[in-house]
Amino acid sequence: GTAMGLVINTGDRTIIGRIASLASGVENEKTPIAIEIEHFVDIIAGLAIFFGATFFVVAMVIGYPFLRAMVFFMAIVVAYVPEGLLATVTVCLSLTAKRLARKNCVVKNLEAVETLGSTSVICSDKTGTLTQNRMTVAHLWFDNQIHTADTTEDQSGQSFDQSSETWTMLSRVVALCNRAQFKPGQDNVPVAKREVIGDASETALLKFAEVTVGPAAEARGRFPKVAELPFNSTNKFQLSVHEAGERQLLVLKGAPERVLERCNTVLLKGQELALDAQWREATPGGHGVRREVGMGAHQDHGGTLETRGDHEEPRVALRAPLRWPPCPLVPQVIMVTGDHPITAKAIAAAVGIISEGSETPEEVAARLRLPLERVDPRQARARVVTGAELAAMTPGALEGLLRAHPEMVFARTSPQQKLVIVESCQRLGAIVAVTGDGVNDSPALKKADIGVAMGIAGSDAAKNAADMILLDDNFASIVTGVEQGRLIFDNLKKSIAYTLTKNIPELTPYLIYITASVPLPLGCITILFIELCTDIVSGRTSRSPPRTRGVTTPDTWGPSTSPSTGRAIQSFAGFTAYFVAMAQEGWWPLLCLGLRPRWEDTHEQELQDSYGQQWTFEQRRYQQYTCYTVFFISIEMCQIADVLIRKTRRLSLFQQGLFR
């Protein structure tokens, strides 16, 4: 159609400008994983500095030179600080983001991967998100029968008689009363995959006509358009007039009730019957989430064409394909949409946001035959709230509503109200994910802990505000994201536990060295090698395989088993190897106690062992390096065993595989 536009505002003063200002005013908050890692690092750094300073003071007191005491301080700090943690976290997040990209989920912020796994509430838009805004013809009603539509090109599942006169008239209306058209150059492309210029409803009708009666362009060529009244939201119908030889054909399409108003007969198996009250009541309806379109036609007989006296033709039901069942890994899914409450409720019930058997307060009142004000809202598991009702609520009232009703639907909401809903969920302690595709979703997408935008139907504003983009617009991809996020959570627990396990075996040699005055079991350079070389490689291999069973179940999210047992085992193994290496050369454990001052005395060249052998300082230094080696190998062997133990949860390595 054509129109004349009047500009009344520009820039930030427009509706879209105000939405953009609202989105830009939302501050980016730290992700849960960033908060947890910062908290962990603060604790570890504090302990490292405390123990390092303690050993520095002790070393100075017992007579060590300042430089040697500073080496002790640095060794303790290095032993405690998890240098490999940052690399491990980055590698885990990067690998998961790469895995998600192969499944059409593009992550803009690496930390968002783990955040999605921690999600406890999803606030989802309807149009383009829960529904893809792609329609197909689902059912037809003509000749007083409801038929399931077959939209495949071979038409093997078509259940009605295509030679029926009623069907002939219906198919003609579908092809002619339609402004949609295929883009050129797609003759060899399957009809279902062809690109169409037109809205979703007319696209569905055009493709259905193409596979059932042949090219719509041929029908339009046989019946040239003479005049047209385009569809508008006031009339809610579309009307066009076509040449049919020496006659004229009027075709009508629109909201069923508006088409019925303009009809006085119905075509039944080739016969025109009066469209009386009985026929009007008999028209099927109530298809829930499906959009219904009525069809009508009138062919003149050479006289003046009238706009009334049409034949009420079959009603065609369209449906938006709801491809996503609610994610079982997320405790609560909330629908937040600008659509009508009845439509929003029907969609929510269809996809399982409102579960089967759940009632709203209005339904409870109807069942009990009581006024709505006498019904306790807590008796209803589900609740549908309009934007007008939300505007009258205080923040406390909204939070109480979210606590009382686990199945929530918000309809006719504004962008500001979507933002308010997200903030209320966050105040209740929830990790909130928001999905959307429109400009009006951008403030909520940015405020959420993780925003998810649609890649095909999504606007640029929504994509810019989001942390993750679904390239195929398939909401089921979020399930994959949640699973991978939970896997990241599990991997980080393993990495942190692995990091903490070796701290004590690295610290206890210095503790025994100071308190028991034994020769130093583990050197500073050896600790640095453990931290900066072997630890990073081993920590990288400790990540869970892609399909570790039990990772995504809620009972596995808690803190992992304390690594105290692993610390004790590694310390015991290291000291056992140390004392065995010393005893093998003649230094029995009892003799080692209190031996440190004489062992490190460079002037002591005839130090006698348990067998009476005399050792020079250089020989003792060589033996000490040997002890460093055996202690190091003991820690590394225990670390390798620790990696293999933490790699799988319930499966053995024979079932899981060593390198998966």
What positions carry a catalytic annotation? 125
Tokens of 321: 């394909």
Name residue 598's amino acid.
R
Tokens of 8: 């009344």
CB-based contacts of 258: which residues, under 8 Å, 6+ apart? Answer: 235, 236, 237, 294
Long-range contacts, 611-619 (Cβ 8 Å, 24+) = 611/586, 613/586
Tokens of 119: 């999600």
Work out whether strand 263-268 and strand 310-319 pair parallel, antiparallel, or are unpaired. Answer: parallel
Work out whether strand 407-411 and strand 291-299 pair parallel, antiparallel, or are unpaired. Answer: unpaired
Least Cα distance to 258 among 281, 241, 234 occurs for 234
Cα separation, 140 vs 162, whole angstroms: 12
Task: Give strand pairing partners of 266.
Answer: 273, 312
Helix spans in 126-261 (H): 165-176, 200-213, 216-222, 256-261
The answer to whether 609 touches 542, Cβ cutoff 8 Å, is no
Task: Give strand pairing partners of 261.
Answer: none
- Burial level of 659, CB count in 10 A (0-12/13-18/19+)? exposed
Convert 270-318 into a string of H (helix), E (strand) and C (coil).
Answer: CEEEECCHHHHHHCCCCCCCCEEEEEEEEECCCCCCCCCCEEEEEEEEE
Handedness of CA 196, 198, 199, 205 (dihedral sign): negative
Tokens of 224: 């040239």
Measure the CA angle with vertex 486, ends 562 and 95; round to 5°: 105
- SS3 for 656? helix
Cα separation, 390 vs 241, whole angstroms: 46
| 568 CB neighbour count, 10 Å cutoff | 14
Q: Which residue has the tokens 């088409």?
A: 259
| 447 CB neighbour count, 10 Å cutoff | 25
Cα separation, 69 vs 56, whole angstroms: 5
